[in-house]
Structure 1
Amino acid sequence: MKADTLIVIAKEPVAGRVKTRLQTEFTPAEAAALARASLADTLAAVRNTPVRRYVLALDGQSGPWLPSGFEVVEQRGDGLAERLAEAFEDAYAGGPMLLVGMDTPQITRELLDVDWADHDAVLGLTEDGGYWALGLRQPDRRALVGVPMSTDHTGADQLARLRLLGYKVLLLPMLRDMDTPEDAAVLAACFPALRMSRLHGRLQHSASPGLLFEKALSGARVVATGIDGQQVPSLCEVDRWQAPADEVDRLALSRCEGPVLDIGCGPGRIVTALAERGIPALGVDISAEAVLLTTNRGAPALRRPVQEPLPGEGRWGSVLLMDGNIGIGGAPALLLRRCAELVRPDGLVLVEVDPDDNLDDTAPIILHADGGRRSRPLPWARVGTRAVLRHALAADLLATEDWRTPHRAFLAFRRAPATLRQASYR
């Protein structure tokens, strides 16, 4: 005896609603894409198995990932146990049914086309304590309702419930499901032909730079390299960024005139140090994690790209580009011109430059995480004094100070007087 009906129970693969545990390594959109690929692999294996009926019990809307031949039923019930029970009831057509989830893309026709022989039920356990398949001759709510779901003993509890009801259970091979980034990596390595595996391989080499930067802020080891693979010093120095402002930072901040705008504030050490001095300051960063860390320190921060409208445009007493943030966007001239727009007419633009005066490197950088992911190229610039002075002149900023310590270098600028700017255009 074999199953008459194959059921797949699944959620619509929408970003933020599926595979949230993958989001420690992947963006919500990437996690949803992996879920979509896993579901497509599962549906293909099911469709390749000869049975009378194919049923998809779906939470959400179907999409182009659904192959032909499936009857779609809406999931019903409160909680997963009830939804499973309802799926069996909705799919029942008088013959045995085998239900699988969307998290084991490695399933095959051989695993699904199983002969139940003299058994009353089929159960396939997973390595994390759950189960990937459940087969019943007919619907039986007693077999499911009340079984604790999504625990590390759900599979054992389900097996115990079936046996308590007097069912003779055929156990299928144990599989690994895809819940965590480690699960995804293992499955991709073991089953490289899957859609999920091919997508995983592409994502490994095209991570969002912002995601890897946020991993660094959360404590993961992330390094930056040029596109040639050579490590870029001074980037991703998260330990220094998260520490209190040091002596060099304080020396730079002693030159600031409030209010101060810190562009690329990171975890907020500079904005915090300014607040401790009683100087009004705001940090801006595109990283949600950076803004959260800054506000957790009690300092104000705003998540926004510097190119978008910002509070107080043209009225800031000082605008800061610390920690090599002159490199943001890979176009120092444009960034300095933006700083000139933000600062008031008599305000200060303070820029930390590379200690190598002659450096002028606008090649993109790539971030690498310990887990093996690397980012797509990130526009960035590493520039020393000579290049910054040249770009500042084009932005109508006049250098007023050039100072350095053994390992760090700074330039201070003021906006050129209107008369001088007008003369330069004649």
Structure 2
Amino acid sequence: MNGTVIVIAKEPVPGRVKTRLQAEFTPREAAALARASLMDTLSAVRATGARGVIALEGSPGSWLPDGLEVVAQRGDGLGERIAAAFEDAYDGSPMLLVGMDTPQVVPELLGFEWGEYDAVLGLTEDGGYWCLGLRTPDRRALAGVPMSTEHTGRDQLRRLRALGLRVGMLPTLRDMDTPKDAAYLAAEFPELRVSRLYARVVHSAHPGLLFEQALGGTARVVATGIDGRAVPSLSELDRWSAPADEVDRLALSRCEGPVLDIGCGPGRIVTALAERGIPALGVDVSPRAVSLTTSRGAAALHRPVQEPLPGEGRWGSVVLMDGNIGIGGDPADLLRRCAELVRPDGLVLVEVDPDDDLDDSTPIILHTSTGRRSTPLPWARVGTRTLLRHARTTPLHPTEDWRTPHRAFLTLRRTA
């Protein structure tokens, strides 16, 4: 191609790029995907053999290949920055400007033959455009065109034609703005850097991140064993987020205050206890869970159960609802910790699996409806008989075993 290809881009800094990807990815993961997308785009530019210029917001990094010129972005708003990029890169030859969000672009597209055209435009599926070409800089082509709307592409085309320019149209592409866009690109263009990175990241999420998304309602999350079978007690997030039901209240009637709720989640148990006038505190490793609990007017603390907690040895009751006896993957160890937390005659209330003989300590995997998968999370699922066997290694003595048609509970009391 005879001419210049301009890439308008942001330095891939966590929290400043690809914020819409953060619906499912951490800021660092989103920035890594943006970096890979930018590198794919720059590789395509270099492969054209054309002069390459990057109009950059931020500082160059190791992602920038040799042979490309760098100009700083200037101007207020995206339209002004694009206009300035054309001016700063102009050397008398036609210019094609592209973004960093279409890593699937190929050199053949960037090497477009202008022929009799005065301008070039390539639209995106979401209503924007992935490239704009001008023979000479002209601020009139961009002034006042609304950016980042579902009709930006149409408005830009209308403006170019209103200036009397002959416009060549390039194929419509899909840019990478959302997790669904990233999944599409990874499936359709697996050879890209960004696709290979996506394949690694999407299957190695931290379990805490997916729990946060589930509690925040940004993703539907299910839990399975390593074998792929669902874990029902960890897939009932609708019940976790709802107020305490009749079975919950029946279980809590056994509690003696003050009560410590381990793995409190969104706080329905702590809230129900507070409504009964029983002092209660929830603890959880999820900041969102703690925030949701406190927003209900209940007390909660962001801390793992194995770290020092307020009132150690003075709690009247400790509760492990919704299968939270599985936290950490070692029920015996968790029971011993509960025994440390309650007072000498304190009570530990445990919700167990309805299958009395269940003894499953294999890790679990969290999955979102969009395909994200967590790294293995240590967990355990136990029935009544299994829990009784674990309790023999602790100073806790079983006092009651009771159940409803679909849920089962065991209470234990600390003894000398």
Provide the TM-score with structure 2 as the length reference: 0.92
Structure 1 contact 204–374 (Cα < 8 Å) conserved = yes
Partner of 1:167: 165
Tell me, in whole angstroms, the C-alpha distance in 1 between the residues paired with 2:394 and 2:97.
65
Q: Which amino acid aligns with 1:412?
A: T
Structure 2 contact 52–67 (Cα < 8 Å) conserved = yes
Q: What stretches of structure 2 of length at least 5 have no aligned partner?
A: none
Tell me, in whole angstroms, the C-alpha distance in 1 between the residues paired with 2:83 and 2:314.
64
Identity, in percent, stands at 77
Tell me, in whole angstroms, the C-alpha distance in 2 between the residues paired with 1:3 and 1:276.
75
> Deviation of residue 61 (structure 1)?
2.9
2:96 to 79, 95, 98: 98
Tell me, in whole angstroms, the C-alpha distance in 1 between the residues paired with 2:150 and 2:2.
28
Partner of 2:403: 404
CA RMSD after TM alignment: 2.2
Partner of 2:234: helix, strand, or coil? coil
Structure 1 contact 271–281 (Cα < 8 Å) conserved = yes
Which range moved further: 407-416 or 275-284? Answer: 407-416
> Deviation of residue 220 (structure 1)?
4.9
Partner of 2:249: helix, strand, or coil? helix
> Deviation of residue 219 (structure 1)?
7.5
Matches within 5 A, 1:251-262: 251-262=250-261
Q: Which amino acid aligns with 2:165?
A: Y
Tell me, in whole angstroms, the C-alpha distance in 2 between the residues paired with 1:266 and 1:396.
27
Partner of 2:332: 333
Partner of 1:38: 37
Partner of 2:114: 116
Partner of 2:267: 268
Tell me, in whole angstroms, the C-alpha distance in 2 between the residues paired with 1:147 and 1:309.
58
> Deviation of residue 339 (structure 1)?
2.4
> Deviation of residue 256 (structure 1)?
1.7
> Deviation of residue 5 (structure 1)?
2.0
Say yes or no: does 1:81 pair with 2:79.
yes
Which structure 1 residue ranges, 4+ long, deviate > 4 Å from structure 2? none
Partner of 1:166: helix, strand, or coil? coil
Deviations 1:51-90 (A, max 9, x none): 1x32222222333222222222222222111221222222
2:131 to 126, 130, 133: 133
Partner of 1:234: helix, strand, or coil? helix
Partner of 2:367: 368
Tell me, in whole angstroms, the C-alpha distance in 1 between the residues paired with 2:255 and 2:361.
28
> Deviation of residue 221 (structure 1)?
4.2
Partner of 2:148: 150
Tell me, in whole angstroms, the C-alpha distance in 2 between the residues paired with 1:269 and 1:219.
20
Tell me, in whole angstroms, the C-alpha distance in 2 between the residues paired with 1:138 and 1:302.
61
Partner of 2:379: helix, strand, or coil? coil
Q: Which amino acid aligns with 2:130?
A: W
Deviations 1:257-280 (A, max 9, x none): 222221111222111111111122
> Deviation of residue 135 (structure 1)?
1.5
Tell me, in whole angstroms, the C-alpha distance in 2 between the residues paired with 1:240 and 1:248.
12
Partner of 1:188: 186
Partner of 1:357: 356
Tell me, in whole angstroms, the C-alpha distance in 2 between the residues paired with 1:306 and 1:152.
48
Q: Which amino acid aligns with 1:79?
A: G
Tell me, in whole angstroms, the C-alpha distance in 1 between the residues paired with 2:21 and 2:393.
46
Tell me, in whole angstroms, the C-alpha distance in 1 between the residues paired with 2:24 and 2:75.
32
Provide the TM-score with structure 1 as the length reference: 0.90
Structure 1 contact 3–98 (Cα < 8 Å) conserved = no
Partner of 1:421: none
> Deviation of residue 107 (structure 1)?
0.4
Question: Does the C-alpha gap of structure 1 residues 347 and 44 become closer, same or farther in structure 2, counting only changes over 3 Å?
Answer: same
Deviations 1:310-356 (A, max 9, x none): 34444433221111101012122332233233334443222212222
